[in-house]
A = this chain, B = another copy of it.
């Protein structure tokens, strides 16, 4: 069972999760790529994962058997779990709580060697719809305060299994990065009576030095103060989009720009390891006036070192304007 502990100085929470030590490949710097025959995410290995929560599958096939395209299962080595109580306990100067929440895996394809963004458009779109459906479901759990959908691609990006998958973690606390963005956005709104994301987008679209791609509903650009080389942000053009309420057509536009931008990145940087995640406003708060949801993509090309850990400064050796130009060359 994992545990949440609060840093008494900064207020940040840490998940102490001893079971995750048992994950395959953790703490091992060099391992050979696992074979498809041993992969528990492959078709035919359905009994090697916890029972499925959801799947898109051929008519007439039963849950937890072959015949699926996309499968959602609980993480076998969960950082957080549904059982337990979301009560904060004091331990002298310290605070802790049980590691309650949810941790799910979205297996994006039955094929071991496929990547999400080399699949058919329809298939990619369905994965994005599954994101929405899981967010809608997890939001309904009373003690859940936040849901993060994310993808780790490649070992350097923290993926412990090669088979293409995304993950969802639902937390009983609003994460500090979200809290910080919310506070910044609120501060800006109170001062200017406008959404900071809308203003950033307007400046980027006027300047066009960092814009990579756009479609009817979305724009992709390299942020002005990118922390990482080739970092990308995807923003919906319309302020009032609510991710959970997006129509299938709106999701198709997200799916299209995400596919195109990842393909451009793979071409420009030779399939780099990367992470992406959705930043939504907290689920049960009226912050959508000043917060504007977005998706961040971080290629994992550099290592953080003592200076970054010690200060919180990031050192980015690639100016975002150069990064955008490189993506657009393709």
Binding site for B on A (CB under 8 A): 5-21, 26-27, 29, 79, 91-94, 146, 148, 150-152, 155-159, 167, 169, 171, 175-178, 180-181, 184-185, 188, 196-197, 199-200, 203, 207, 223-227, 275-279, 296, 298, 301-320, 322
B177 touches A307 (CB 8 A): no
Q: How far is the CA of A304 from the CA of B157 in the complex (A)?
A: 7
In whole angstroms, what is the CA distance A169 to B306 when docked? 11
Docked Cα-Cα span, A260 to B182, in Å, equals: 43
Closest to A169 in B: B307
A306→B93 contact, CB < 8 A: no
Kindly state the separation between the CA atoms of A15 and B303 in the bound complex, as whole angstroms: 15
Q: Given contacts A20-B315, A185-B9, A224-B5, are A93 and B307 in contact (CB under 8 A)? A: no
Asked if residues A10 and B181 are in contact (CB atoms below 8 Å), the reply is yes
Give chain B residues whose Cβ lies under 8 Å from the Cβ of A93: 196, 199-200, 203
| Copies of this chain per assembly | 2
Contact between chains at B312 and A225 (CB < 8 Å) = no
Known: A175-B313, A304-B304. 18 other contacts (CB 8 A): A8-B188, A8-B224, A9-B196, A12-B227, A15-B314, A18-B322, A21-B318, A92-B203, A148-B307, A150-B305, A150-B306, A150-B310, A169-B311, A175-B312, A180-B312, A275-B305, A275-B306, A296-B309
A37 → B minimal CB distance (Å): 26
Q: Choose one: B12, B200, B277, B316; the contact of A16 (CB below 8 Å).
A: B316
Verify B14–A152 contact, CB threshold 8 A: no
Q: Are B8 and A196 in contact (CB under 8 A)?
A: yes
- Is B20 a contact partner of A226 (Cβ separation < 8 A)? no
Contact between B181 and A9, CB atoms less than 8 A apart: yes
A11-B184, A311-B177 known; A277-B301 Cβ under 8 A: no
